[in-house]
C-alpha cells in the first residue's frame, strides 16, 4: 500500500508575476511517522481530545508530589506561619557555592560550616525543649529545621562579624542559629554580638541562655531602631516587613554604617529586587541562592547577598 498523503493547503507569501504580485497557495504535506500521530492529523477532534488527556496526566503528575507533601505537612507539622523545613542535599551544595562566591572562602569551608550548623545537637535540643515549654507549643514544631538560615550561619562563621543585625525575629530560630555561630566564633577567639529587631514585643521567645548571651533585642519598627543604632554593622540580615519600600528603606538607613567588609543579606530576595537594586546603587555584586525544600509543598524562597568589600568586577 502506498504512503497516505496528509496535509493541508496554506496561503504562502506574495510572488512577483509580470507587473503585479499574486498570493500563492501551497499544499503542505505532513507524513507523521507514528501511527498515533497520523490518526491525530487525519482525525483532529479525536487527536485534540487525546492530547488534552495526555496534557492533563502531565499536569497531575507534576501536582502529585505537592499534594502528598501537603498531606505530610498537615499531618506532621503544627506551624501556620513562617514555615520551617529542611532543604535538599542539592541545595546545601548550592548554598556552599553561594557562600564561597560571597565571601571568597573555599567552598569546602563553606560546606563544613553548613554541616556544622545542621548538626548542632545542642541547638536542636534547645529548640525542642523551649518549644515544648511555651504556652503556644500547640502551634510550633519542636524539630529545628533551619532551611536557608544555614546560609546566614555559614556567613557568620566565615566573616567572624563583631556586629550582626537581624531585622525580623519571629520566634527566634534564625536568631538562635546566628547566636550559635557567634558563640562558636567567640570560642575561636572572635567574639561578636547580634542585634535582633522586631516590632512585636513577644518575638524571640526561643532566644534563651546560652544563646541569649550573644543577643540584644530591640523592639520597635526596624527603620526607627536602625536610625537609633550607632554600631558599625558587619553582617546585616533583612527578614522583617517584606514590602519593597520597607526593605529598601532598611538598606538606605544602614548604608553609612556598614563596615568595609560587611555583607548584606536579604531573606526576601526571591520576591523582591530591593537588595539587587541596592547592590546596583552602591556598585557592588549581587548573589542569589534559591531554596529547595525537601517537601515540595513548601513555597521555596531564596537568599540574596551583597558583599560590600568586593567592587563590581
Ligand X SMILES: C[S@@+](CC[C@H](N)C(=O)[O-])C[C@H]1O[C@@H](n2cnc3c(N)ncnc32)[C@H](O)[C@@H]1O
Which residues of the shown chain bind ligand X in the complex (CB under 6 A)? 82, 149, 166-170, 173-174, 197-200, 203, 221-222, 239-241, 246
Nearer CB in complex with ligand X: 143/200: 200
Nearer CB in complex with ligand X: 234/247: 247
Nearer CB in complex with ligand X: 173/181: 173
- Taking CA 41 as the corner, what is the angle to CA 37 and CA 45, rounded to the nearest 5 degrees? 110
Question: Do 226 and 240 form a contact (C-beta atoms < 8 A)?
Answer: no
Question: Do 270 and 290 form a contact (C-beta atoms < 8 A)?
Answer: yes
Question: What is the strand order of the sheet 233-238 is part of?
Answer: 215-219, 193-198, 163-167, 233-238, 258-266, 302-307, 287-290
Least distance to ligand X, CB of residue 12, Å? 59
Residue nearest to ligand X (CB): 174
To 10 degrees, what angle do helices 107-118 and 149-159 make?
Answer: 120
Least distance to ligand X, CB of residue 84, Å? 7
Question: Do 40 and 51 form a contact (C-beta atoms < 8 A)?
Answer: yes
Nearer CB in complex with ligand X: 110/173: 173
Least distance to ligand X, CB of residue 203, Å? 5
Nearer CB in complex with ligand X: 127/158: 127
Least distance to ligand X, CB of residue 239, Å? 4
The 8-class DSSP code of residue 255 comes to: G
Reading the block at residue 126, the C-alpha cell is 534547645
Least distance to ligand X, CB of residue 208, Å? 16
H/E segment holding residue 26: strand 20-30
Amino acid at each position: 500500500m502506498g504512503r497516505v498523503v496528509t496535509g493541508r493547503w496554506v496561503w504562502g507569501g506574495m510572488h512577483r508575476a509580470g507587473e503585479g504580485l499574486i498570493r500563492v497557495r501551497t499544499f503542505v504535506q505532513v507524513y507523521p511517522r507514528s501511527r498515533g500521530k497520523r490518526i491525530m492529523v487525519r482525525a483532529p477532534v479525536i487527536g485534540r481530545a487525546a492530547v488534552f488527556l495526555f496534557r492533563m496526566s502531565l499536569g497531575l503528575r507534576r501536582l502529585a508530589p505537592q499534594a502528598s507533601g501537603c498531606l505530610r505537612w498537615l499531618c506532621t507539622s503544627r506551624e501556620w506561619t513562617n514555615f520551617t523545613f529542611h532543604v535538599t542535599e542539592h541545595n546545601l551544595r548550592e548554598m556552599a557555592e553561594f557562600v564561597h562566591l560571597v565571601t571568597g572562602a573555599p567552598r569546602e569551608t563553606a560546606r563544613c560550616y553548613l554541616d556544622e550548623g545542621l548538626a548542632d545537637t545542642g541547638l536542636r535540643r534547645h529548640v525542642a525543649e523551649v518549644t515544648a515549654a511555651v504556652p503556644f507549643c500547640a502551634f510550633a514544631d519542636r524539630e529545628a529545621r533551619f532551611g536557608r538560615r544555614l546560609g546566614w550561619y555559614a556567613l557568620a562563621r566565615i566573616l567572624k562579624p563583631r556586629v550582626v543585625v537581624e531585622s525580623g525575629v519571629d520566634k527566634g530560630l534564625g536568631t538562635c542559629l546566628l547566636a550559635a555561630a557567634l558563640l562558636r566564633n567567640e570560642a575561636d577567639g572572635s567574639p561578636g554580638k547580634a542585634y535582633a529587631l522586631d516590632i512585636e514585643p513577644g518575638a524571640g521567645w526561643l532566644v534563651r541562655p546560652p544563646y541569649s548571651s550573644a543577643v540584644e533585642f530591640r523592639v520597635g519598627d526596624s527603620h526607627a531602631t536602625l536610625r537609633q543604632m550607632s554600631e558599625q554593622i558587619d553582617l546585616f540580615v533583612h527578614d522583617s516587613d517584606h514590602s519593597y519600600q520597607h526593605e529598601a528603606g532598611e538598606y538606605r538607613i544602614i548604608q553609612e554604617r556598614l563596615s568595609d567588609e560587611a555583607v548584606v543579606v536579604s531573606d526576601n530576595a526571591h520576591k523582591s529586587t530591593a537588595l539587587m537594586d541596592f547592590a546596583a546603587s552602591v556598585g557592588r555584586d549581587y548573589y542569589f541562592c534559591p531554596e529547595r525544600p525537601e517537601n515540595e509543598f513548601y513555597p521555596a524562597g531564596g537568599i540574596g547577598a551583597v558583599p560590600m568589600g568586593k567592587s563590581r568586577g
